[in-house]
């Protein structure tokens, strides 16, 4: 149970290593099946790397068994880049997006998963929304929704209600604004927390969004703020890593709110470590996942 559950719903809780130590992640035991089976659905002919980043991050967070579903045209090369994963090629549209009908092709994987991540690298708003809607009936475990898959939530705030709080949304600031259908001048750093909380209540999902600070909000009003990170995290692929970390922690048994809070902190701390090693700017998203196992060990010691 969250160590913050007894706090006032109006109180923002700062995320610190001490907080996380009191909110322990499930302890690993046994083989890979005991740490969960994750399915990552995403990518396109132009953006296969997003799936790669999210998938590796999920494993670095401690998930046990990795399965990836992406467009058929890139599936073989992705399987070589991810030798740890089962990779399934999906039907794609003429412009290289995952076709909504592909949901049937991954129904068996979704039904056996302990967490499903949908969104990294998807192309085409309408196709992505339709894909999530088609996939949802096959998902009986917690779900993490990222990037263009959030379009389904934009269209229908109730699309994830059936998960009863076991869903996490990981928008960036632009995606949060679009999902709430806000004008660009209606959101700034001061309103980010408020908007995240609004989306959490409407969607009945945990919402994790990053800015100068990262805010994680639960449907019941609980809110956490993580102040780690830095400007270097504002780089292509960084959000895919954060979504993958969140899903990996859910797969290994963390609750939705716990996974989102831990993932935000690990993501920020990984950025800080790379800033110290490489420079404040210029490190790559692909370098973030490799920092995570050591950070987990430090926090959990």
- In the predicted model, what is the mean pLDDT of the chain? 94
In 3D space, the residue among 239, 289, 286 whose CA is nearest the CA of residue 269 turns out to be: 289
**Quick one: pLDDT band at residue 140, thresholds 50, 70, 90?**
very high
When divided into structural domains, the chain yields a total of 1
| Nearest partner of 118 among 136, 145, 155, judged by Cα | 145
56-86 per-position pLDDT tens digit = 999 999 999 999 999 999 999 999 999 999 9
Mean pLDDT, to the nearest integer, of 235-241?
97
Indicate the DSSP class of residue 198: H
Q: Is the pLDDT of residue 92 over 90?
A: yes
- 9 belongs to a structural domain: no
Give the tens place of pLDDT for each residue, 117-129: 999 999 999 999 9
Tell whether 105 is covered by a domain.
Answer: yes
The domain that holds 111 is classified in CATH as 3.40.1190.20
pLDDT 10s digits, 244-295: 999 999 999 999 999 999 999 999 999 999 999 999 999 999 999 999 999 9
Position 12 in a domain: no
> Residue 119: which of 162, 82, 160, 62 has the closest Cα?
160
Q: What confidence tier does 6 reach under pLDDT thresholds 50, 70, 90?
A: very low
CA distance 12 to 9: 8
Q: How confident is the model at residue 9 (pLDDT cuts 50, 70, 90)?
A: very low
- Does 263 fall in a domain? yes
**17 falls within a domain:** no
Task: Look at residue 36 and tell me if it is in a domain.
Answer: yes
Helices assigned H by DSSP within 12-168? 17-22, 48-60, 72-81, 107-112, 125-135, 151-155
Q: Is residue 278 part of a domain?
A: yes
Q: Note the pTM of the prediction, 2 decimals.
A: 0.95
> Does residue 18 sit within a domain?
no
Domain membership of residue 121 as a residue range:
31-300
Which letter, b or e, does each residue of 158-174 get, where b requires 16 or more Cβ atoms within 10 Å of its Cβ? Answer: ebbeebebbbbbbbbbe
On the question of pLDDT at 30 being above 80, the answer is no
- 9 or 237, which is more confident: 237
């Amino acid at each position: 149970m969250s160590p913050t559950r007894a706090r006032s719903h109006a109180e923002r809780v700062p995320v610190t290593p001490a907080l996380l130590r009191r909110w322990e992640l499930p302890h690993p035991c046994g083989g890979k099946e005991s740490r969960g089976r994750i399915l990552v659905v995403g990518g396109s002919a132009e953006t296969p790397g997003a799936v790669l980043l999210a998938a590796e991050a999920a494993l670095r967070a401690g998930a046990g068994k990795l399965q990836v579903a992406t467009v058929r045209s890139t599936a073989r090369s992705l399987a070589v880049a991810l030798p740890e994963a089962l990779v399934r090629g999906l039907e794609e549209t003429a412009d290289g997006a995952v076709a909504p009908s592909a949901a049937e092709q991954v129904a068996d994987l979704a039904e056996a998963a302990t967490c499903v991540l949908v969104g990294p690298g998807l192309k085409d708003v309408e196709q992505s929304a339709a894909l999530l809607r088609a996939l949802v009936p096959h998902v009986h475990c917690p779900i993490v929704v990222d990037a263009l898959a959030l379009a389904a939530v934009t269209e229908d705030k109730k699309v994830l209600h059936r998960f009863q709080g076991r869903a996490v949304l990981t928008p960036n600031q632009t995606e949060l604004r679009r999902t709430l259908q806000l004008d660009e001048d209606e959101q700034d750093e001061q309103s980010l927390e408020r908007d995240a909380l609004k989306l959490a209540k409407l969607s009945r999902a945990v919402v994790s969004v990053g800015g100068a600070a990262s805010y994680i909000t639960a449907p019941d009003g609980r809110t956490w703020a993580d102040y780690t990170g830095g400007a270097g995290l504002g780089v292509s692929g960084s959000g895919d890593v954060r979504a993958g970390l969140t899903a990996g922690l859910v797969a290994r048994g963390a609750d939705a709110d716990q996974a989102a809070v831990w993932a935000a902190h690990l993501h920020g701390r990984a950025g800080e470590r790379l800033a110290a090693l490489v420079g404040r700017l210029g490190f790559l998203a692909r370098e973030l996942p490799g920092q995570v196992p050591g950070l987990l060990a430090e926090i959990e010691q």
